[in-house]
C-alpha cells in the first residue's frame, strides 16, 4: 500500500511550486494532475506516469468519483502517488472529497501547501490584501469565495474588508450588480486579474459600478476579482517589475500597453 501526496502547484508558472512540493513530485511514480497546472512541472518527475484528471468550468471534466477511484487504485499499486493541484489544494480544490475517499480505503496522505490565486493576483498588482489602514479605514479581514455555487447560482456578499472571488470570469457584470445590491458602494475599488501567476497575467482596475467593462478584456481566461480595501492601489509605492515582468494595470478596462 502506497501513499498519496497532495502537492499544491501554485497558480500559473512552474516556479511558483514550493521546494517541498517539487521534492515530493520528484519521488512520484504516478502523478494525477489538474488542468491548470504548468506542463513544465513534468520536468520534476520525468520518470512518472502522468494522468490528466483536469476539471474546467463549462468544459469537459473528469468526474470526481473517477478521480477518487484512480487515486485509490494507483496508491495500491505504487509507493508514491502525487495528486497535483493548481493553486493551493485546500482552497476550492476538492481536497475534502479526495481525502475522504483515501481515508475510507486506508491509504496514508500528506498535503503540501502552496500559493493560491488570490495571493498571486495581489502580488502581480502589488496590492496587499490586508492593510493597516488610513483615516480610520483598515483592511483586517479577507474573504475567499467562488463566484458561483455548486448549483450554478451567483453568490455575492459583504463579509470582509476585502472580498476575493474565484472563477468569476463569465459573471463579471452580474457579480458587480449583485454586490451593489448587497450594499457595496458604487465607487468601491475592484481589481481583476486573469491568469494570475503566469507570464501573460493581465490586470485591470475598475469601480464596482463599472466592473462589467472588464468582461471583454479578460474573456476566456481564468479570472480572480478582488473587491474592497485590498483592491485599492498603494499610494506612492514605486513599482519594481518582477523577474516574470509583471504587466502594468489597465485602467477602466483598457488593455495595458504591450511589454
Question: CB-side exposure of 247: number of CA atoms within 13 Å?
Answer: 24
Question: What is the C-alpha to C-alpha distance for residues 89 and 44, in angstroms, rounded to an integer?
Answer: 19
DSSP, res 258: P
Angle between helices 95-104 and 64-75 (to 10 degrees): 40
| DSSP three-state, residue 201 | coil
CB atoms near residue 213 (< 10 Å): 18
Question: What is the C-alpha to C-alpha distance for residues 12 and 124, in angstroms, rounded to an integer?
Answer: 12
Measure the CA angle with vertex 58, ends 56 and 61; round to 5°.
45
Name the residue with cell 493576483: 121
- Looking only at the bridges linking them, the beta strands covering 30-33 and 3-8 are unpaired
Q: Which residues are catalytic?
A: 34, 55, 167
DSSP, res 148: B
Measure the CA angle with vertex 147, ends 216 and 217; round to 5°.
10
Residue 112, classified by CB atoms within 10 Å of its CB into exposed (0-12), middle (13-18) or buried (19+), is buried
Amino acid at each position: 500500500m502506497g501513499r498519496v501526496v497532495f502537492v499544491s502547484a501554485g497558480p500559473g508558472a512552474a516556479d511558483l511550486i514550493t521546494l517541498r512540493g517539487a521534492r515530493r513530485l520528484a519521488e512520484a511514480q504516478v502523478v494525477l494532475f489538474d488542468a491548470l497546472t504548468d506542463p513544465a512541472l513534468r520536468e520534476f518527475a520525468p520518470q512518472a506516469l502522468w494522468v490528466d484528471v483536469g476539471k474546467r468550468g463549462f468544459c469537459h471534466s473528469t468526474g470526481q468519483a473517477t478521480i477518487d477511484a484512480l487515486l485509490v487504485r494507483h496508491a495500491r499499486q505504487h509507493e508514491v502517488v502525487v495528486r497535483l493541484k493548481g493553486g493551493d489544494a485546500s482552497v476550492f480544490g476538492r481536497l475534502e472529497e479526495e481525502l475522504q475517499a483515501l481515508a475510507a480505503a486506508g491509504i496514508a496522505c500528506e498535503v503540501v501547501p502552496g500559493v493560491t490565486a488570490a495571493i498571486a493576483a495581489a502580488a502581480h498588482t502589488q496590492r496587499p490584501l490586508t492593510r493597516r489602514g488610513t483615516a480610520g479605514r483598515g483592511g483586517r479581514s479577507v474573504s475567499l469565495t467562488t463566484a458561483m455555487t455548486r448549483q450554478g447560482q451567483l453568490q455575492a456578499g459583504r463579509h470582509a474588508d476585502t472580498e476575493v472571488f474565484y472563477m468569476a470570469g463569465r459573471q463579471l457584470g452580474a457579480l458587480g450588480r449583485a454586490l451593489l445590491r448587497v450594499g457595496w458602494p458604487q465607487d468601491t475599488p475592484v481589481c481583476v486579474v486573469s491568469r494570475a501567476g503566469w507570464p501573460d497575467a493581465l490586470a485591470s482596475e475598475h469601480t464596482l459600478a463599472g466592473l462589467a467593462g472588464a468582461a471583454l478584456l479578460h474573456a476566456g481566461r481564468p479570472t480572480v476579482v478582488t473587491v474592497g480595501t485590498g483592491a485599492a492601489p498603494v499610494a506612492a509605492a514605486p513599482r519594481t517589475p518582477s523577474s516574470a515582468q509583471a504587466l502594468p494595470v489597465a485602467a477602466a478596462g483598457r488593455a495595458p500597453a504591450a511589454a
